[in-house]
Chains A and B, each alone.
Chain A
Amino acid sequence: MKIGDSCPDFDLPGTDGKNHALSGMTAELLLVIVSCNHCPYVVANEERIANLAREYAEKNVDTIAINANDTARYPEDAMPEMTVRAKERGFSFPYVRDDSQNVVRALGARFTPEVFLFDRARKLRYHGRIDDNHRDATSVKSHDLKNALDALLVGKNPPVEETSAVGCSVKWK
């Protein structure tokens, strides 16, 4: 996807037993995180993601995490394990499975975690990494996703629209 492209439509089953569709995401901004259970980069970012989703939900931002990894090769990315993880980490946002991998392919995602931030018209406004230090949250110098969220929430353009996501490759079928 390129900046300005529309969010692909989705309707995917979540760890809460419900389906979550693009049409049901009605907040000012929509944050889509391509994620999974097993990737060390995701694990290192999970607390940050959970905190960020909670903080920005109060500012009218919907968050959804999508796991499309091939469960034949990575059984720990299957729905039962995702459900356990969502509970353990106290995710306040939908954590959904994209078994067909169609949504994640349409997003053009390559990595986990990789973030896609959409505006009110569901056009892509920021794409890439969460920040510049997956290893240590206290050493982050560039809060790229937060900067984009804060800018869009006050009607400005993100200071940086694209960064390179750092993570494991999506496990394609």
Chain B
Amino acid sequence: MPSDAARAKVKKFVETYVRKGPYALYPDAVVTDNVIEGLADNLEAHGKMYCPCTPIDECIAQGSAMVCPCTPHESDIEKQGYCDCALFASRDFVAAENLKKSGQK
């Protein structure tokens, strides 16, 4: 379990990135909380917010490319609407998901 300090640092980064950047949060808080937990875990264990969905040795070998927001996140979002960890998503993807959810109600 990461410390509260590491978790708070990651949360702050994520909130700032969403507020200032072109992307929204992936529209499932259970999933995004999980990714934040993984990032905080890596921050504490390895000193950087390495992608929690990539083996840590690969992350370290690729260096800053795999520190969140990772290099592939933009092309992933362009391809599928959300980054591979399901932390960030395009605003169009979020709108479409919200529409689906409202249709299910």
Residues of A near any B CB (own CB < 8 A): 38-41, 43, 73, 110-111, 132-133, 135, 164-169, 171
Contacts and interface: CB of A to CB of B under 8 A. Distances in A.
Contacts of A168: 52-53, 85
Contacts of B41: 135
Contacts of A135: 41, 45
B56 A110 contact: no
Interface residues of B, number: 20
A133 to B, nearest CB: 8
12 contacts: A40-B54, A40-B55, A41-B38, A41-B52, A111-B34, A133-B1, A164-B30, A164-B33, A166-B34, A169-B31, A169-B34, A171-B84
**A-side binding surface: helix, strand, loop or mixed?**
loop
A164 B55 contact: no
The 8 closest A-B pairs by CB, nearest first: A169-B86, A168-B53, A40-B55, A169-B31, A110-B31, A166-B34, A110-B30, A166-B37
Interface string B40-68: 01000100000011111000000000000
Contact of B85 (A43, A164, A165, A169): A169
A40 B86 CA distance: 15
Contacts of A73: 80, 84
A39 B53 contact: yes
A62 to B, nearest CB: 27
A156 to B, nearest CB: 27
B22 to A, nearest CB: 21
B15 interface: no
By CB atoms of chain B within 10 A, which of A43, A73, A166 has the most?
A166
Contacts of A38: 55
A40 B1 CA distance: 16
B92 interface: no
B28 interface: yes
Nearest to B57: A40
A132 B85 contact: no
A141 B53 CA distance: 24
A64 B64 CA distance: 37
